[in-house]
Chain A
């Protein structure tokens, strides 16, 4: 017989009313042990990992990831009779705490498809904190046990493979970095509060003339980030056309090749290659402005943010050391990051540390735009739709494939003339993509 236990969301801050579900760590039907992590939730104050007080089988979850749960409402409903071992008619409070060190066997028997990992609870916890999928880590301890040293080795090897750079800055929609959350932040915070706060007349009654949608979560972060950028950096945008006829042909033939390997090849990897080459020639574009010391900080590595539209809003995953990667590697990484972005599964480090951002608006996004800089970077490149256009070549009108491009730059750091040269350099590579061959090793 099922004995139902509702784990109601407690006030885990000081005077909280609600929390947003960021990630479920269990699914309906899973059998969980007491104290096992079940979800990551975002409160007004912090991102928090929740554990279940009692053991049981998961009957239902409060909602999909992204949903809001009020304090006092059930976060998860369990059938405590369906737990790993039978237990009597103990009270709810004591049931869970009987099963104390049980997290060791968290995965056992619940998902037969998955490899069973032997690891101490502290190691599992570290793995989650480090964002390491523990089933991928080779255990070198007794009987294949995964140890802390194994986790560290796994991370080192992964970093060596991707050459991950130090994180310097946060991505849109994620946690603010302390280093630049100083005075300018306070100002823009006030501005964003003024702009986005509801009118002071209190909650207005519902009318048919308007609908009010609370600005929160990712939407709120985007709002704050945009306000900070636009109110801090004087934005200037240049636009031009690029004749990408050759590139269209090359991409078409390469895309057919890669399709056999199930890799989707867009124009974006080519744009990234052209842009990183231009950045190396014009280091001022791969920079930030340190307002406290009045210094322009030139970045020596090329971590390219890719503006990505998702259902929840704009996210900017980062391709690290993009200049070191091949077209094929870029295509694979873009597909992975984009897929994760849509699932809201990007890790913090995948959203941090970009030094320059590219926004690729695609076929439906118009020919030109005025992109907003991903502050504290100093410029952003927009790659837009490609259209068949009549153009004049050697005094004859011919049909060519023309792509629109935009470059927004921070006029505190960069003037119009170098911006023009930067755009022409990017255009030169995209018009003559065979030039990229010259650097292939």
Chain B
């Protein structure tokens, strides 16, 4: 009989919350890599905090902050190659920015512009998926296509713990394993699906172990440890590229802020729990390591933060300045060639608009 209790639960970790850990493994990371990772994470944190404030000022619409999940997002994306495919949900802002999405592009999205979902051609990032777990299927489809075409790209589906209760997730896992396609299922387990805690989400002790039922490898990694996330993701991506098939990665992390700007987490999370996780802040432990190597100071941090703030301001202003469009545009971006009914609707809308303007 298979007994889940007999499964060992081990979590991959290189850097602990105090910035110590496996010295030999830490030493393998170059100064340059660590600085790049830290800058990407600090940039993401500043962007996230600014976006939250800008929502409170009525400058952008509903926003889903990701502070606390920087290591999981950035560690995983740094292990990818530029032309690997990313299938993000709405919280993967740091993933997309680090993979090359211009910040201005994201402002179009959070300001409700049609152009917000039209990713620049050269970027292999799918439009943000709002429907929970739907992107896991898209990622599997893309990976299958890659395999059939003989390309070497890997596809990555990003999703949260809540998505693992959806049918789409299980169908995607099953299909990926059966057809042995190069896809990574990267789950950021931030322990709450809006207000539903992990214990009410699944009876499995880990999400990683769900992989076994589909005949694929699963691994649990400390999602607040950027080094461990990177190493784990790198192994998974390389295996997929070698044709060894899909893998499920569970990055255990915590969202420090609300689910979205319309959520009040104090109603379902105890302040002490949040405090516990604040001490495990992914930026803190990396900063400690950088300071130990003499690579970072308060002055550098201030200078860098100021620079990112300027970048955010400039991106926002550029996005606002380039906003254009009319009601007729909403018909344009789903079909390459509009079906007859849609074309008629578009013409009607234009006619009515002109009639109004004449009056």
Stretch at the interface among A48-56, A211-219, A380-388, A415-423: A48-56
Among candidates A47, A48, A51, A97, residue contacting B316 with C-beta atoms closer than 8 Å? A97
Cβ-closest chain A residue relative to B195:
A178
Cβ-closest chain A residue relative to B283:
A122
A14 vs B55: C-alpha distance when bound (angstroms): 11
Residues of A close to B313: CB separation below 8 A = 97-98, 100
Among candidates B55, B272, B316, residue contacting A12 with C-beta atoms closer than 8 Å? B55
**A46-B263, A46-B264, A176-B267 as given contacts; A11 in contact with B56, CB under 8 Å:** no
Cβ < 8 Å to B, chain A residues 339-383: 348-349
**Is the C-beta of B27 less than 8 angstroms from some C-beta in chain A?**
no
**Is the C-beta of B25 less than 8 angstroms from some C-beta in chain A?**
no
**Is the C-beta of A8 less than 8 angstroms from some C-beta in chain B?**
yes
**Is the C-beta of A45 less than 8 angstroms from some C-beta in chain B?**
yes
A53 vs B317: C-alpha distance when bound (angstroms): 13
Tell whether, in the assembled complex, residue A49 and residue B58 are in contact, meaning their CB atoms are under 8 Å apart: no
**A13-B262, A49-B56, A175-B266 as given contacts; A101 in contact with B298, CB under 8 Å:** no
A98 vs B270: C-alpha distance when bound (angstroms): 37
Q: How far is the CB of B262 from chain A (nearest CB, A)?
A: 5
Residues of A close to B305: CB separation below 8 A = 101
Q: How far is the CB of B162 from chain A (nearest CB, A)?
A: 17
Among candidates B50, B59, B262, B268, residue contacting A45 with C-beta atoms closer than 8 Å? B262
Tell whether, in the assembled complex, residue A14 and residue B264 are in contact, meaning their CB atoms are under 8 Å apart: no
**Is the C-beta of B62 less than 8 angstroms from some C-beta in chain A?**
yes
Tell whether, in the assembled complex, residue B272 and residue A50 are in contact, meaning their CB atoms are under 8 Å apart: no
**A47-B266, A51-B53, A175-B266 as given contacts; A11 in contact with B58, CB under 8 Å:** yes
Tell whether, in the assembled complex, residue A48 and residue B320 are in contact, meaning their CB atoms are under 8 Å apart: no
Size class of A's contact patch? 35 or more
Cβ-closest chain A residue relative to B278:
A126
Residues of B close to A176: CB separation below 8 A = 267
**Is the C-beta of A93 less than 8 angstroms from some C-beta in chain B?**
yes
**Is the C-beta of B325 less than 8 angstroms from some C-beta in chain A?**
no
Tell whether, in the assembled complex, residue B306 and residue A101 are in contact, meaning their CB atoms are under 8 Å apart: yes
**A46-B263, A166-B272, A178-B270 as given contacts; A120 in contact with B302, CB under 8 Å:** yes
Q: How far is the CB of A349 from chain B (nearest CB, A)?
A: 8
Among candidates A50, A97, A166, residue contacting B317 with C-beta atoms closer than 8 Å? A97
Q: How far is the CB of B116 from chain A (nearest CB, A)?
A: 18
Cβ-closest chain A residue relative to B279:
A152
**A51-B53, A166-B272, A178-B270 as given contacts; A46 in contact with B316, CB under 8 Å:** no
Tell whether, in the assembled complex, residue A53 and residue B306 are in contact, meaning their CB atoms are under 8 Å apart: no
**Is the C-beta of A10 less than 8 angstroms from some C-beta in chain B?**
yes
A10 vs B263: C-alpha distance when bound (angstroms): 16
**Is the C-beta of B351 less than 8 angstroms from some C-beta in chain A?**
no
**Is the C-beta of A68 less than 8 angstroms from some C-beta in chain B?**
no
Interface residues in B, total, Cβ within 8 A: 33
Tell whether, in the assembled complex, residue A10 and residue B270 are in contact, meaning their CB atoms are under 8 Å apart: no
Cβ < 8 Å to A, chain B residues 292-316: 298, 301-302, 305-306, 309-310, 312-313, 316
Q: How far is the CB of A321 from chain B (nearest CB, A)?
A: 17
Q: How far is the CB of A145 from chain B (nearest CB, A)?
A: 8
Tell whether, in the assembled complex, residue A100 and residue B310 are in contact, meaning their CB atoms are under 8 Å apart: yes
Residues of A close to B55: CB separation below 8 A = 12
Residues of A close to B98: CB separation below 8 A = none
**Is the C-beta of A167 less than 8 angstroms from some C-beta in chain B?**
yes
**Is the C-beta of B322 less than 8 angstroms from some C-beta in chain A?**
no
**Is the C-beta of A35 less than 8 angstroms from some C-beta in chain B?**
yes
A377 vs B287: C-alpha distance when bound (angstroms): 45
A47 vs B258: C-alpha distance when bound (angstroms): 11
Residues of B close to A51: CB separation below 8 A = 53, 56-57
Residues of A close to B301: CB separation below 8 A = 120
Among candidates A47, A96, A181, residue contacting B264 with C-beta atoms closer than 8 Å? A47
Among candidates A11, A166, A167, A178, residue contacting B267 with C-beta atoms closer than 8 Å? A178
Residues of B close to A94: CB separation below 8 A = 317
Q: How far is the CB of B51 from chain A (nearest CB, A)?
A: 12
**Is the C-beta of B271 less than 8 angstroms from some C-beta in chain A?**
yes
Q: How far is the CB of B270 from chain A (nearest CB, A)?
A: 7
Q: How far is the CB of B24 from chain A (nearest CB, A)?
A: 29
Tell whether, in the assembled complex, residue A12 and residue B261 are in contact, meaning their CB atoms are under 8 Å apart: yes
Tell whether, in the assembled complex, residue A178 and residue B58 are in contact, meaning their CB atoms are under 8 Å apart: no
**Is the C-beta of A142 less than 8 angstroms from some C-beta in chain B?**
yes
Q: How far is the CB of B230 from chain A (nearest CB, A)?
A: 25
Most buried by B among A13, A50, A141: A13
Tell whether, in the assembled complex, residue A53 and residue B59 are in contact, meaning their CB atoms are under 8 Å apart: yes
A-B contact pairs, 23 of them (CB 8 A): A7-B57, A10-B56, A10-B58, A12-B55, A12-B261, A35-B53, A46-B266, A47-B266, A50-B57, A51-B57, A53-B58, A93-B320, A97-B313, A97-B317, A100-B309, A100-B312, A101-B305, A120-B302, A145-B298, A175-B266, A178-B195, A178-B268, A179-B270
Known: A51-B57, A101-B302. 6 other contacts (CB 8 A): A14-B262, A52-B57, A100-B312, A101-B309, A120-B298, A348-B266
